[in-house]
Every structure is written in C-alpha cells, then in structure tokens.
Amino acid sequence: MSSSLPDYAIEAQGLDKTYRAEGKGESKHALKSINLNVPRGSIFGLLGPNGAGKSTFINILAGMVMKTGGTAKIWGIDIDKDPRNARGAIGIVPQEISLDAFFSPREILGVQAGLYGVPKGERYTDGLLNLVGLMDKADAYSRTLSGGMKRRLMVAKAMVHSPPVLILDEPTAGVDIELRQGLWDAVRALNEKGVTIVLTTHYLKEAEELCDRIAIINHGEIVANKSKSDLLKQLDLKDMYVTFEKEIDNIPDALSAYNVEKIDDTQIRLSYHSNKTSVQEMLGLLSSAGLSIRDISTQESDLEDIFLSFTRNKAA
Ligand code: ADP
Ligand code: MG
C-alpha cells in the first residue's frame, strides 16, 4: 500500500446488486449502479427508508453480499483485487446485534482480536472499553448489558483491528433515545481520532445530529449527496396555511416579501424558511392589514417530502 492517505475512505462506482429469485420469490434490483464516495475523515450518513438498499451496500463492502456489478474500494483497496486487506480496513457494526451471552465484554474483544490476528501485545482492550464507556462492565456477562451498551460493545468489537473506517448499519435500532447519546459520544471520539465513519439510518434526525455529509438513497438509487448544511438549507422550508374569517380578494400587500400563494377565497399558503422567518412577524402583518384569522396550520417538509422532491427532480 502506498504511504499517502486516500482522499476517499470508500469509493463505489457503478455498484450494482440484483438479488436472484429463489423459489417463488421475485428477483430484486436492490442497488442500481450507484456511485458514492465517502471523504476520508468524515462522518457520513447514508439515509433512506426501509428497503432502500442501505444494508445491501454495507454488506457488499463487508464481503457478505456478492455484488452483481461495479467496483468498490475501501481505503483505496479494491474489494475484488485484494479482499483481505480491503476487509481489514473496515470495522462493521451490523444491523443485528450478535454477542455471546455468557462472554464478558473483555472476553468478546479478546476473541475478536484473535480472529483478526491482532498480536496480544498490540491489543488495546482497555482503551476500547474506555472509549465506549464499558470499563465498569468489562467482566459482566454481556447478556446483562442494556441495548445501548450492547451496541457500544459492538462498536468496540468492530474496532479491535484498528481499521481506519467504521461502518454502522442502523446503529440506534433497539437503543433507547436516552441511551443514544453514549453511542454518539463513542462514534464522535473515534472520528476525532481520525476514523472515517459511515452510518446508515432511516431517521433524518439521527443523520442530522451526527453527520457532516448525507447521501439519500431511495429504491436503490442515490438521489442526493450533499454536505449537511446544504441539505438542511433545503429541508428548512415550511408551509403555513392561513384561513381567514372572510373572503379575501388579493394576497395582502403586507406579505409581498414572503412567498405566498392564494389557495382559495379564504385561504393562503406561505412558504418560508423556518429558521430565518419570524412567524410572529408574519402573523402581525396579517392582523395589521385588518385580516382576522380563523385557522392556521403548518407543514414541515419531512423525510418523505424530501424523498419525493429528490426523486421528482433528480438533478437536485
Ligand atoms: P435497507 O437496509 O435500506 O432497509 P436492504 O438493503 O436490506 O434495504 O434491502 C434492499 C432491497 O433488497 C429490499 O427490497 C429487500 O427486500 C431486498 N433484499 C435484501 N436482502 C435480500 C435477499 N437476501 N434476497 C432477496 N431480496 C433481498
Ligand atoms: Mg438495513
């Protein structure tokens, strides 16, 4: 391997997967020639609804699913040409937790390090346990750990061979909201040490909290791939529907600065950026124009809308 670091921790080109039909099942084109580069050092979120193809992508990188087309490199290493080293460059936390119930965290990490051929003198079990906040549980049966602790132990297990890339598939599935923070802390700490993080999720909030770059996948296609701030700028749009007591002839002049549309004789829709616009000011303008309001409702663009907007307009 050359000594220079790759620009991208992961590079997928034309990556394709069709699951072949078995028995009565239908074949499924789960990944449609996707191109996806994950910049080195980032916390990268692959966001998409259930069935979008997230796990398929991860499992191809992990060597657990055979791709049907395209190429993928991990840390600059082609997964076909050098599968051993490619796999050595990633740690994977799979969607399903699997831990030996009667092994302690310390034992589980020891076994995993053995599997990866990490010499005893180079193991950093305590460091890992500390990093994931499980030092005080180091010798407890793993079956006694909470869902959040188990997930953190899975993170430590994925890191025993010190890979430069960590991939987490739906890391907060089965983790209580209060316990997620501990998992995020561990992920952030690893990222600060230089580990590139890729995580999949179907929760926008989760991607929003943690990731600096977000790609959206839908029906096996990448429909957006942007920095978080660019994506959120797009998401920040809200609609407010205002219904008046009486019919209005025109859109009130007072609202000319806003993006307004007349829906019918008594209703208008205001589109606005929720973090730039004062709702109070908008409503104040309406009442000083002498309009009395009967009803107001707002609609946030949620993940579903974003998917729709991105799938309608593929150039976005
Ligand atoms: P996600 O992780 O985004 O929920 P998956 O990658 O698990 O999505 O699945 C993508 C699509 O491929 C889904 O329609 C799923 O039903 C299908 N699929 C996944 N695994 C298999 C398999 N082993 N055989 C057939 N179809 C599969
Ligand atoms: Mg999945």
Boundaries of every domain in the chain: 1-89+164-179+190-229, 98-162, 236-300
Q: Is the pLDDT of residue 166 over 80?
A: yes
Paired sense of beta strands 196-201 and 213-218, if any: unpaired
Q: What is the CB neighbour count within 10 angstroms for residue 205?
A: 9
Q: For residue 30, give the ligand nearest its CA.
A: 1
Atom 24 (ligand 1) nearest CA: 19
Interval 181-196 mean pLDDT: 93
pLDDT band at 219 (very low <50, low <70, confident <90, very high): very high
Q: Is the CB of 199 under 6 A from ligand 1?
A: no
The pLDDT-based confidence of 308 (bands split at 50, 70, 90) is low
Q: Ligand 1: does its nearest atom lie under 6 Å from the Cβ of 51?
A: yes
pLDDT at 231 over 50: yes
Residue 53 Cβ contacting ligand 1 at under 6 Å: yes
- Angle between helix axes 177-192 and 147-158 (nearest 10 degrees) is 20
Superfamily covering domain 236-300: Alpha-L RNA-binding motif (3.30.70.1560)
Q: Give percent of the chain above pLDDT 70.
A: 93
Ligand found nearest the CA of 53? 1
Residue 205 CB contacts under 8 Å (≥ 6 apart), including other chains: none
Q: Which amino acid is at 141?
A: Y
CATH 3.40.50.2300 fits 1-89+164-179+190-229, yes or no: no
Has residue 2 got a pLDDT over 70?
A: no
Instruction: For residues 63 and 74, give the distance between their C-alpha atoms in angstroms, rounded to a whole number.
Output: 11
Task: Give dist(CA 145, CA 288) in Å, integer.
Answer: 60
pLDDT for residue 314: 43
| Cα gap 130→192, rounded to integer Å | 15
Query: What average pLDDT score do residues 109-113 get?
Result: 96
pLDDT for 315 equals 40
Least confident interval from 35-49, 118-132, 213-227, 234-248: 234-248
For residue 251, pLDDT over 90 is answered with no
* Residue type (1 letter), 90: I
Please give the model's pTM, rounded to 2 decimal places.
Answer: 0.80
Q: Which residue has a Cα nearest atom 14 of ligand 1? A: 51
**What pLDDT is stored for residue 175 in this prediction?**
77
What number is the average pLDDT over the span 168-192? 87
Asked whether the predicted pLDDT for residue 143 surpasses 60, the reply is yes
Per-residue model confidence (pLDDT) at position 312: 56
Alpha carbons 126 and 156: distance in angstroms, whole number: 10
Mean pLDDT score, 12-20: 97
pLDDT band, very low/low/confident/very high, at 306 (cuts 50, 70, 90): low
Q: How far is the CA of 82 from the centre of ligand 1 (A)?
A: 26
